[in-house]
């Protein structure tokens, strides 16, 4: 189920897969320029942003806006709970049975059965 006021932007050559029984709460944003996979039984809290692209910025003689963007796939495993107002950046994988605390910014892969919080998100506990 996708709740009200959630925006999903799909661009050319995109692949957004959402597994069964997953829930995306209100006021979320999913920007899919290439490849995002959300597993089954995933709960995504309100206000969360998931985007598989970011701007290029390497050339200092060209404005960032004019350098284009780069994409990296995002994979969110099965039975994942992502709290409200999180940010999931491009190239990140979140393993199965993982919890991401509210307000976290996920910049690196989080393995299965982890509880991660903060900005940037860090593992504070294992679930098993």
Q: What is the pLDDT of residue 112?
A: 98
Each residue's pLDDT tens digit, 60-92:
999 999 999 999 999 999 999 999 999 999 999
Domain spans, the chain: 7-126
How far apart CA 47 and CA 18 sit, in angstroms, is 18
Each residue's pLDDT tens digit, 12-49:
768 999 999 999 999 999 999 989 999 999 999 999 99
How far apart CA 101 and CA 80 sit, in angstroms, is 11
From residue 54, alpha-carbon distances to 2, 69, 89 in Å are 24, 5, 8
Q: Which CATH number describes the domain made up of 7-126? A: 2.160.10.10
């Amino acid at each position: 189920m996708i709740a009200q006021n959630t925006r999903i932007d799909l661009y050319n050559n995109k692949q957004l897969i959402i597994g069964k029984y997953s829930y995306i709460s209100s006021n979320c944003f999913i920007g899919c320029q290439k490849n995002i996979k959300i597993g089954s039984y995933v709960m995504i809290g309100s206000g969360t942003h998931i985007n598989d692209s970011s701007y290029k910025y390497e050339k200092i003689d060209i404005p960032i806006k004019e350098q284009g963007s780069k994409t990296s796939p995002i994979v969110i495993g099965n039975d994942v709970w992502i709290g409200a107002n999180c940010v999931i950046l491009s190239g990140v994988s979140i393993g199965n049975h993982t919890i991401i605390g509210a307000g976290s910014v996920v910049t690196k892969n989080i393995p299965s059965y982890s509880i991660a919080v903060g900005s940037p998100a860090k593992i504070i506990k294992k679930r098993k």
